[in-house]
Amino acid sequence: MIEQIRAAARLDFLDVFGSVVKDGETVLLLGPHEPGFWPHVTISVELNDGAPNPLDRWSKRVIGKLAKSFAADALFPSDGPPYPPFISWALASQQAWLAPVGMLVHDRAGLMTSYRGALRIKGQYTRTSLELSPCVPCAKPCKTACPVDALSETSYDVEACKTHILGPDSKNCRTMGCAARRACPISQTYGRLPEQSAFHMRAFLGE
């Protein structure tokens, strides 16, 4: 079943980013499949109609369609309150862990991981997962990449981050994406385009 869902998801450049089994059901986490996600998304109606929240609306349409095809429930990070526990699901999947800079690191997406939504299906479907975080053997360049030291395992200085992005921006965080995320060796092999990171930065700044 999981491989069937993955094949269908990849038609829209999504992929299964992990699974969690509980009470006879399986939650499949869905994230961008790279390379190719952003060029595919940017030609969609949602990204070109000028209405708010284009990427969330695209996600709800595409993942909603997947849910109907597989008799599943579609779940989204923006649903709530109460909000679905995507971070808890990600950590329980053993395909994502807490990085030294306080963000989730995924075994394939690195610090560029994001979850566009999830499918909840009947039955228990397990997937191969890793026992050890990829951060353990890593030299952890993410810890020193932030130009204003806004990130740690336990805190995030949002105002310092925004001040840097809106100022000289010595690391090109606004146009290339967060310097700490980019420093992750796994992120560098993932294939996410700078244009997508810039889109998320504009959303972060409320532009």
At 65, list the tokens: 């369609």
CA 194 to chain centre: 15
Tell me how long the chain is.
207
Q: For 22-57, how does the pLDDT look when each residue is reduced to its tens digit (9 = 90+)?
A: 899 999 999 999 999 999 999 999 999 999 999 999
> Using a CB cutoff of 8 Å and minimum separation of 24, what contacts does 63-67 make?
63/14, 63/30, 63/116, 63/117, 63/118, 63/119, 66/5, 66/8, 66/9, 66/14, 66/30, 66/119, 67/119
Q: How far apart (Å, rounded) are the C-alpha atoms in residues 179 and 144?
A: 9
Structure tokens at 7: 């094949």
Mean pLDDT of 141-165: 96
Segment 53-75, tens digit of pLDDT? 999 999 999 999 999 999 999 99
What pLDDT score was predicted for residue 126?
Answer: 74
Torsion of CA 35, 38, 41, 47, to 10 degrees: 180
Find the distance separating the first CA and the last CA of the chain, reported in whole Å: 40
> Which H or E run contains 124?
none
Whether the pLDDT of residue 131 is over 80: the answer is no
Maximum alpha-carbon separation in the chain: 52
Residue 168 has, within 13 A of its CA and on its CB side, a CA count of 3
d(CA 46, CA 160): 32
Under 8 Å between Cβ of 165 and 206 = no
pLDDT band at 130 (very low <50, low <70, confident <90, very high): confident
